[in-house]
């Protein structure tokens, strides 16, 4: 324990000790304050309107321009097959010939009947002109002649039905028949597809219908060709909106000269709507906290503040800002991770506002 004299000595020295202690820490506090006020180096940009295309994404199934399953009109034995699987054929080309002995015999009989009816008609016409027979008798013979002519045409049609022809130019699928097999009207001979152009039907929400027009650029990708994009355009917009889905069917057409796209392929479609002016910034400038999005806006004194924004379409590392900032304001686009409201920033690499070029699409199809 301190004696009374020791306590007096400690009390007398206490102010000097406190002053010494405070004096020792004051320079360090000033140094820390200077470091805290030092501007943080970031990259900023002045936001300006630029060209921008909205995109709509959907899934669709590729369809051939023309597609049919070939069948026969009659039940008959296959006599000859004139094609191979996967063959390219022309319109009207004979693909399958069926046996037609009975049809040929019926044609011969019908032609003989017609010839006899025609001979009798001419003879009776001469007699009617001489008023040797009644005019009604000539009319009866005329009807018999016309009926015989109709039977000839029917016999010829029956023979034609025994030759299955390609209704249009295209590519045949796998052959399903062989010579000697019996086919019926329900038997499949092969499939035929015109794949020179391909259709892809996809759904567009009703709310976006006003911005969809004929000729809009469309791109599509398929899992079979990863990393490759096919270019097309909108050809048809359905006249009706589905009341169940509140969507309209849009048909895009794609050129397919190399025959790479095939019917039934699942296509990831992106529809580019008309170009417009929008505020577009790099996507890294948008800070996401839960469901809220904001950017750091640079104020006149060099400090930053959080500006809540509404983000529209994001594409290729760019983001459209629908609300929250205005043209001419400067924002931080790189270095947001070390910022907080109120700190001052220094532009390490100022960038000029970049114009976003609209994606080009070939007008094919």
- Give the burial class of 97: count Cβ atoms within 10 A of its Cβ; 0-12 exposed, 13-18 middle, 19 or more buried: middle
Q: Is residue 113 part of a domain?
A: yes
Percent pLDDT > 90 in the chain is: 49
In a domain? residue 354: no
Per-residue CA distances from 337 to 118, 288, 325, 341 (Å) = 100, 11, 20, 12
For residues 343 and 283, membership in a common domain is answered with yes
Asked if 227 and 262 sit in the same domain, the reply is yes
Residue 144 lies in a domain: yes
Residue 18 inside a domain? The answer is no
One domain, residues 283 and 330: yes
Both 94 and 178 in a single domain?
A: yes
Phi/psi at 212 (5° precision): -105, 130
Clarify whether residues 123 and 216 are in a common domain: no
The answer on 238 and 211 residing in a single domain is yes
Reading the block at residue 242, the tokens are 């589905």
Residue 269 contacts residue 58 (beta carbons within 8 Å) = yes
pLDDT at 361 over 50: no
Residues 227, 315, single domain; the answer is no
Residue 24 lies in a domain: no
Q: What is the pLDDT of residue 171?
A: 94
Average pLDDT on 356-361 reads 44
Q: Are 43 and 332 in contact (CB under 8 A)?
A: yes
CA distances 298 to 11, 179, 194, 338, Å, are 54, 82, 59, 14
Q: How confident is the model at residue 37, as a pLDDT?
A: 67
For residues 235 and 177, state if they share a domain.
Answer: no
96-129 confidence digits (pLDDT tens): 999 988 888 999 999 999 999 999 999 988 888 8
Task: Choose the final residue of a domain: 272, 296, 330.
Answer: 272
Q: Tell me, what's the pLDDT at 358? A: 45
- On whether residue 286 sits in a domain, the answer given is yes
Identify whether residues 179 and 245 lie together within a single domain.
no
Q: Are residues 79 and 183 in the same domain?
A: yes
State the CATH number of the domain containing residue 177.
2.40.50.100
Tokens matching residue 174: 């796998």
Terminal alpha carbon distance of the chain = 103
Quick check: 304 pLDDT over 60?
Answer: yes
Q: Number of structural domains, the chain?
A: 4
Same domain, 94 and 168: yes
Digit-coded pLDDT (tens) for 169-217:
999 999 999 999 999 888 999 999 999 999 999 999 998 888 888 988 8
pLDDT score of 349: 60
In a domain, 16, yes or no: no
Q: How far apart are CA 188 and CA 200, in angstroms?
A: 26
Residue pair 144/113 in contact (Cβ under 8 Å)? The answer is: no
DSSP single-letter state for residue 218 = E
Cα(128)–Cα(121) distance, integer angstroms: 10
- Phi, psi dihedrals of residue 208, rounded to the nearest 5°: -100, 5
CA angle at 94 for the pair 88 and 97, rounded to the nearest 5° = 130
What is the 8-class DSSP label of residue 38?
A: S
pLDDT confidence tier of residue 4, bands split at 50, 70 and 90: low
Q: CA–CA distance from 151 to each of 111, 119, 155, 158 (Å)?
A: 8, 17, 6, 10
* CB-based contact 254:198 (threshold 8 Å): yes
Domain-ending residue, one of 243, 272, 301:
272
- pLDDT computed for residue 356 by the predictor: 45
Whether residue 282 is found in the same domain as residue 293: yes
Residue 73 has pLDDT above 60, yes or no: yes
CA distance 152 to 145: 11
Instruction: Specify burial of residue 309 (Cβ count, 10 A radius: 0-12, 13-18, 19+).
Output: buried
CATH number of the domain at 109, please: 1.10.287.470
Q: Which residue among 118, 145, 161 closes a domain?
A: 161
Extract the tokens encoding 246: 């509140």
**CATH number of the domain enclosing 240:** 2.40.30.170
Residue 13 lies in a domain: no
Query: Residue 14 is inside which H or E element, if any?
Result: helix 4-36
Please count the other Cβ atoms lying within 10 Å of the Cβ belonging to residue 21. Answer: 10
228-250 average pLDDT score: 93
Is the pLDDT assigned to residue 25 strictly greater than 80? no
Question: Are residues 270 and 56 in contact, defined by beta-carbon separation less than 8 angstroms?
Answer: yes
Q: What is the pTM of this model?
A: 0.62
Which residue segment(s) compose the domain that 226 sits in? Answer: 57-64+196-272
How confident is the model over 24-45, as a mean pLDDT?
A: 62
Q: Provide the CATH number for the domain around residue 309.
A: 2.40.420.20
Q: What is the mean pLDDT of the chain?
A: 84
Residues in a beta bridge with 297: 305, 331
């Amino acid at each position: 324990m301190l004696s009374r004299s020791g306590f007096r000595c400690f009390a007398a020295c206490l102010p000097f000790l406190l002053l010494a202690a405070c004096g020792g820490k004051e320079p360090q506090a000033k140094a820390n304050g200077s470091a805290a006020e030092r501007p943080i180096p970031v990259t900023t940009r002045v936001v300006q309107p630029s060209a921008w295309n909205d995109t709509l994404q959907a899934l669709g199934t590729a369809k051939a321009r023309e597609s049919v399953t070939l069948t026969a009109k009659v039940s008959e034995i296959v006599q000859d097959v004139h094609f191979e699987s996967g063959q390219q054929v022309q319109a009207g080309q004979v693909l399958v010939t069926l046996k037609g002995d009975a049809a040929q015999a019926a044609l011969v009989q019908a032609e003989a009947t017609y010839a006899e009816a025609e001979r009798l008609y001419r003879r009776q016409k001469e007699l009617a002109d001489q008023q040797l027979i009644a005019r009604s008798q000539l009319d009866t013979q005329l009807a018999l002649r016309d009926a015989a002519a109709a039977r000839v045409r029917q016999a010829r049609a029956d023979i034609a039905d025994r030759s299955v022809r390609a209704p249009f130019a295209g590519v045949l699928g796998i052959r399903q028949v062989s010579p000697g097999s019996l086919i019926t009207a329900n038997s499949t001979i092969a499939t035929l597809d015109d794949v020179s152009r391909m259709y892809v039907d996809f759904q567009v929400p009703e709310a976006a219908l006003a911005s969809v027009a004929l000729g809009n650029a469309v791109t599509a990708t398929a899992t079979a060709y990863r990393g490759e994009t096919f270019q097309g355009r909108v050809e048809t917009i359905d006249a009706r909106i589905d009341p169940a889905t509140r969507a309209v069917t849009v048909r895009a057409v794609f050129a397919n000269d190399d025959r790479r796209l095939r019917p039934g392929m699942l296509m990831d479609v992106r529809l580019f709507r008309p170009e417009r002016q929008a505020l577009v910034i790099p996507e890294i400038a948008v800070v996401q906290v839960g469901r809220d999005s904001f950017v750091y806006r640079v104020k006149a004194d060099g400090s930053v503040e959080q500006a809540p924004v509404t983000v529209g379409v994001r594409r290729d590392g760019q983001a459209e800002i629908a609300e929250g900032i205005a043209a001419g304001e400067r924002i931080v686009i790189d270095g947001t991770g070390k910022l907080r409201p109120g700190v001052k920033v220094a532009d390490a690499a100022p960038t000029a506002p970049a114009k976003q070029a609209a994606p080009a699409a070939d007008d094919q199809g």
